[in-house]
């Protein structure tokens, strides 16, 4: 596809379970970002990849959250021992080179509900 | 640390009226500023950006924004609202060379017929 693709679009899980959210960026985009958006809030930065490496993971809230991008394309956000407070829409974005003035292209998000 | 504040979580205008969505920023260095729009059930998309060239920036769908350093503002305007402009609008500042964005809390724009 031409845009950023995120799967699943909706995920309902129980407290304590493990969850993986997948992001397929625009082909050729080297920079990839994960954000979390709670109801009524703006997107909150989680982590940024340049190629395969995490260039900035300062937004990850705790060690239950982890993200990988092993081949510099698809990324997976992993959440262990989910809590009700993790419920949110998780957004992925990519940009061509990751510079400070570059446009971020966002996917439609993965809505996570933890019961 | 850089941040943005959007004044007004909800703005309602009549069709054909002026749209004004407010954004103030805080930055210790010259900022790069953005407005993104989120239509229902769609991903965020870029409306316009300020990157230290012209202070008046024109974007898509008739929107524009003016960077005012003295007021630390980057307000978004459109002369005449259309029903299709109803959406959530986010102001954002770029905080480092990597393109990481810090977003405001958003303003929901409603357009009345």
pLDDT tens for each residue of B77-113: 999 999 999 999 999 998 777 788 999 999 999 999 9
Instruction: Tell the residue number behind the tokens 């940009």, with chain if given.
Output: A95
Is-contact A100 B98, C-beta < 8 A? Answer: yes
Q: Which residues of B touch A99 (CB under 8 A)?
A: 97-99
Distance (Å, whole) CA A85 – CA A8: 19
Q: Which residues of B touch A104 (CB under 8 A)?
A: 36, 44, 46, 99, 101
Is-contact B34 B101, C-beta < 8 A? Answer: yes
**Among A4, A42, A50, beta carbon nearest to B98:** A50
Residues A70-100 have pLDDT tens digits of: 999 999 999 999 999 999 999 999 999 877 8
pLDDT for the residue B61 = 93
Angle at A28 between CA A24 and CA A33, to 5 degrees: 50
Q: Which residues of A touch B51 (CB under 8 A)?
A: 101
Q: Which residues of B touch A50 (CB under 8 A)?
A: 98
Is-contact A100 A35, C-beta < 8 A? Answer: no
Inter-CA distances, B89 with A42, A90, B28, B98, Å: 9, 18, 24, 23
Helix, strand, coil percentages in chain B from 3-state DSSP, rounded to 5: 10, 55, 35
Mean pLDDT, chain B, whole residue set: 93
Count of beta carbons in the 10 Å neighbourhood of residue A7: 13
The count of residues in chain A is 115
- Residue in chain B lying closest to A107 (CA): B43
Distance (Å, whole) CA B91 – CA A44: 13
Instruction: Tell the residue number behind the tokens 């941040």, with chain if given.
Output: B3
The answer to whether the Cβ–Cβ distance between B44 and A99 falls below 8 Å is: no
Is-contact A90 A76, C-beta < 8 A? Answer: no
Average pLDDT of the residues in B26-50: 91
A1 pLDDT more than 70? no
Residue B39 C-beta-side C-alpha neighbours within 13 Å: 7
The answer to whether the Cβ–Cβ distance between A106 and B32 falls below 8 Å is: no
The answer to whether the Cβ–Cβ distance between B103 and A55 falls below 8 Å is: no
The answer to whether the Cβ–Cβ distance between A42 and B104 falls below 8 Å is: yes
> What letter does residue A4 receive in the DSSP assignment?
-
The answer to whether the Cβ–Cβ distance between A95 and B99 falls below 8 Å is: yes
Average pLDDT of the residues in A23-45: 94
Distance (Å, whole) CA A7 – CA A20: 9
φ/ψ (deg, to 5) at B61: 60, 25
């Amino acid at each position: 596809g031409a845009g950023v693709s995120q799967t699943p679009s909706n995920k309902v899980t129980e407290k304590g379970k493990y969850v993986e959210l997948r992001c397929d960026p625009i082909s050729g985009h080297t920079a990839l970002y994960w954000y979390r958006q709670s109801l009524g809030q703006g997107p909150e930065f989680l982590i940024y990849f340049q190629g395969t490496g995490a260039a900035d993971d300062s937004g990850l809230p705790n060690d239950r959250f982890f993200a990988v991008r092993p081949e510099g394309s698809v990324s997976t956000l992993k959440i262990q021992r989910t809590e009700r407070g993790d419920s949110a829409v998780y957004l992925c974005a990519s940009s061509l080179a990751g510079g400070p003035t570059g446009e971020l292209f966002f996917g439609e998000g993965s809505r996570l509900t933890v019961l | 640390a850089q941040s943005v504040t959007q004044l007004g979580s909800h703005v309602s205008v009549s069709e054909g009226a002026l749209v004004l969505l407010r954004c103030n920023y805080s930055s210790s260095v010259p900022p790069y500023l953005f407005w993104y729009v989120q239509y229902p059930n769609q991903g965020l998309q870029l409306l316009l950006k300020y990157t230290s060239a012209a202070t008046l920036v024109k974007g898509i769908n008739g929107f524009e924004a003016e960077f005012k350093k003295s007021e630390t503002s980057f307000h978004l305007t459109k002369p005449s609202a259309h029903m299709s402009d109803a959406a959530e609008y986010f102001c954002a500042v770029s905080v480092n060379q990597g393109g990481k964005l810090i977003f405001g809390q958003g303003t929901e724009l409603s357009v009345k017929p």
